[in-house]
Amino acid sequence: MDLNILWFILITVLFVGFFILEGFDYGVGILLPFLGKNDTERRVIINTIGPVWDGNEVWLLTAGGAIFAAFPHWYATLFSGFYMALFLLLLGLIVRAVAFEYRSKDENPRWRMVWDWAIFFGSAVPALLWGVAIANMVYGVKIDAEMNYVGTFFDLLNPYALLGGLASFTLFTLHGAVYLDLKTTDALRERAMKMTLRVGPVATVIVVAFIIATYFFTDAIEHLGVDPGFVPMASLLSLFGAAYFVNTKRLGWGFVMTSLNIGLSVITIFMLLFPRVLVSNLNPEWSLTIYNASSSPKTLTIMSFVALIFLPIVLGYQAWSYWVFRHRVSIKSELTY
């Protein structure tokens, strides 16, 4: 295995971690105005992710930094071509972060309602746009021979990409609902369970439709074949597994299944891409790959040693933080937000 492949795998792992952790984070934010019937209940909902939401976003920063250092041409084309979409995504994340911090600064109900809806939009917009962006990476965008994106923002809003956005939006909402099933008590837990049962079938239908569309509108047949292999099949089966465990009230396993579904779906997307990182629909030969978009071997070597030292430390710290804040949050708990 050369270093180009190694860093492609490491970036895949970073996105897997980001979408699993930030996925339930987005889902909780999306469900906040609908499950919380009063200020106290909404504070309980926010406190389920209060200790971890900012740590979850570090995975995105790390993945972006890894792309910038390991595959600078990928970074340059992606951020220039998807500029408006990424701007809206980052704007949503900024609004969301500000809302978490400012919500509790005033007890006025209107003040808090405004920030609650800011959390909703700051979660919903990235949840949708991430699916649109990832779908476009596989579907193909207008990249010329000089690795420049020559399309427009509206070219990114094609039907396949929008279906991918709906898939990510509903999956993250389902993931967040199952997480709230595990982290809340009493009436909130009951509402979260009802929401899980409502969102689950919708997410399943949209995801299956997205899988079918992937075989019709991308080169999935060429890369995965009619028999896609263990990872894509396990991704789909884990979604049905989540439905089974939720309906049998085994919510811990239900959360494991939704996490597996998201993680394996990300791996499947990167399997479809490999060895490409951005597909050109103008000419397949103009696609960016892990070789024509990469840094020098020396840069990749230095980065590998740095990752070998610090990645285990970061993973260990985050695992410890989740263990510390593993308990349910109730109305009787000390509320911060």
Amino acid at 217: F
- Straight-line distance from the first to the last Cα atom of the chain, in angstroms, rounded to the nearest whole number: 47
Map residue 60 onto helix, strand or coil: helix
Q: For residues 183 and 253, is the Cβ–Cβ distance under 8 A? A: no
Rg (Cα) of the chain, in Å, rounded? 20
The pLDDT of residue 225 is 76
The pLDDT of residue 153 is 85
The pLDDT of residue 154 is 87
Verify cis geometry, omega within 30 degrees of 0, for the bond prior to 275. Answer: yes
Q: Which of 40, 189, 22 is nearest to 122 (CA)?
A: 22
Task: State the 10-residue block means of pLDDT for the chain, 337 residues long.
Answer: 90 94 94 91 90 85 90 91 89 92 87 93 95 92 91 90 96 95 89 92 94 89 80 91 89 93 94 92 92 91 88 84 81 67
Taking the model in full, what pTM does it have? 0.92
The pLDDT of residue 335 is 66
Map residue 329 onto helix, strand or coil: coil
If you ran DSSP here, which 8-state letter would residue 103 be given? G
What is the C-alpha separation between 274 and 6, in angstroms, rounded? 12
Burial class (CB in 10 A: 0-12, 13-18, 19+), 130: buried
Domains and CATH numbers, the chain: 3-324 (1.20.1630.10)
